Structure formats: structure tokens, C-alpha cells
């Protein structure tokens, strides 16, 4: 406003402040910039180091806020749980689980499974076959997931990849697994396909 040539009185009137305030901001460069505010004291300040220590001791597990509230209340904390939860939220970092890639030699294994693209009256299902070594993928869209469709799709996948792998791994598809846990936990009864 001042660069456009407006007077101090006009600027003060438009902004709803005193002329002295406008003059101070125009003269002093430091007054124009906002700095970080001083942190306000809160009831939790005296207990923050204790809470950090307790959280670190419990890693990789997590102590619920209600338990920590009870512990610091016994030490004299007079605040509520909302303030405590807000303080604990950034401390609750979850360690990402390491990604373990299952590698197989070339031509050793192919993984095949059906996936539903669209459900309902007119379903669209895809047979997805992925080679274990190269991660090359073959996809065939179908309307069913029966054994005939599976066998036909696998033949097309073998033609596409230019050969047959030593093993084809399935993930409980209905066309392969007849009964789950038939012979004990994790031991399924499978149909034989040729």
C-alpha cells in the first residue's frame, strides 16, 4: 500500500490499526517478519522426558495412553488424556517390516492366481501368472475361475513365456484346492489337473 503511494493515515484506516503501528512496520524490517513463537507452558512439560523414556523402553511394543496417564497421574500430573495423546502421537512410529523378496532360479517357479476386476452380474476375472525370477507377468481376462479356464489360461501363459516352469504355485484358488486343512492345518486337499 505504501509502495502504491498511499498515506500512512489511509493505510491505518483500511487496516484498522493506529498510524504509529503502520509507521513502525514501514520503518523496521524486523517488525515485518514473524518469528517462531515461544512455546507455551503446559501441564505435561514436567513429564515429557519420563514419557519419552517409557516409550523407548517398550519398543517395539506400544504402551497405551491410558496406562501412561495413570503412571504420570500417580506422579502428580493434573491434566487430561487429550494433551497426552497429542504428545504421544509423533512418538508412535511404526517400524516398517523389512521386505523379503522370495527369489527363485530362472524357470523354477511361476505363481498363478485369479483376481476379481469387477464383481456383480457381469463379473470380470483375470488369471494372473507371474514368473518367480524375472517377475514377467501374463494376464488373461475371463468370466469364470473353473478348472477348464485355469488349464487353458496356464497353457496360454506357457506359450507366452516360451516354456513350462518346474513348479506352478497357486494361492488357494477354487479350481485347485478342493478342501482346506483336509489333512491338518495348512495341508489342503487339491484336485488333480492334467
User: What digits encode the pLDDT tens for the residues 69-84?
Assistant: 999 999 999 988 999 9
DSSP secondary structure letter of residue 186: T
User: What digits encode the pLDDT tens for the residues 12-71?
Assistant: 999 999 999 999 888 887 776 667 777 788 889 999 999 999 999 988 888 999 999 999
Q: Please classify residue 51 by burial: count the beta carbons closer than 10 Å to its beta carbon, then call 0-12 exposed, 13-18 middle and 19+ buried.
A: buried
pTM of the model: 0.46
User: What digits encode the pLDDT tens for the residues 80-108?
Assistant: 899 999 999 988 876 677 777 777 899 89
**What is the average pLDDT value for the chain, to the nearest integer?**
86
User: What digits encode the pLDDT tens for the residues 137-181?
Assistant: 999 999 888 889 999 999 999 999 999 999 998 877 777 777 766
> Distance (Å, rounded) from C-alpha 124 to C-alpha 141?
7
- Does residue 189 register a pLDDT over 70? no
Amino acid at each position: 500500500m505504501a509502495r502504491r503511494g498511499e498515506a500512512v493515515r489511509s493505510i491505518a484506516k483500511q487496516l484498522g490499526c493506529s498510524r504509529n503501528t503502520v509507521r513502525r512496520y514501514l520503518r523496521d524490517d524486523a517488525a515485518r517478519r514473524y518469528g517462531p513463537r515461544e512455546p507455551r507452558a503446559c501441564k505435561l512439560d514436567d513429564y515429557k522426558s519420563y514419557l519419552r523414556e517409557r516409550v523407548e523402553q517398550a519398543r517395539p511394543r506400544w504402551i497405551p495412553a491410558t496406562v501412561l496417564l495413570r503412571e504420570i497421574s500417580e506422579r502428580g500430573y493434573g491434566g487430561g488424556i487429550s494433551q497426552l495423546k497429542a504428545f504421544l502421537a509423533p512418538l508412535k512410529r511404526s517400524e516398517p517390516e523389512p521386505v523379503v523378496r522370495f527369489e527363485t532360479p530362472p524357470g523354477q517357479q511361476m505363481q498363478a492366481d485369479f483376481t476379481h476386476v469387477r464383481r456383480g452380474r457381469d463379473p470380470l476375472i483375470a488369471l494372473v501368472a507371474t514368473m518367480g525370477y524375472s517377475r514377467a507377468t501374463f494376464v488373461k481376462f475371463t468370466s469364470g475361475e473353473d478348472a477348464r479356464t485355469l488349464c487353458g489360461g496356464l497353457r496360454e501363459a506357457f506359450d507366452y513365456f516360451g516354456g513350462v516352469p518346474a513348479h506352478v504355485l497357486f494361492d488357494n484358488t477354487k479350481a485347485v484346492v478342493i478342501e482346506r486343512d483336509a489333512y491338518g492345518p495348512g495341508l489342503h486337499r487339491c484336485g488333480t489337473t492334467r
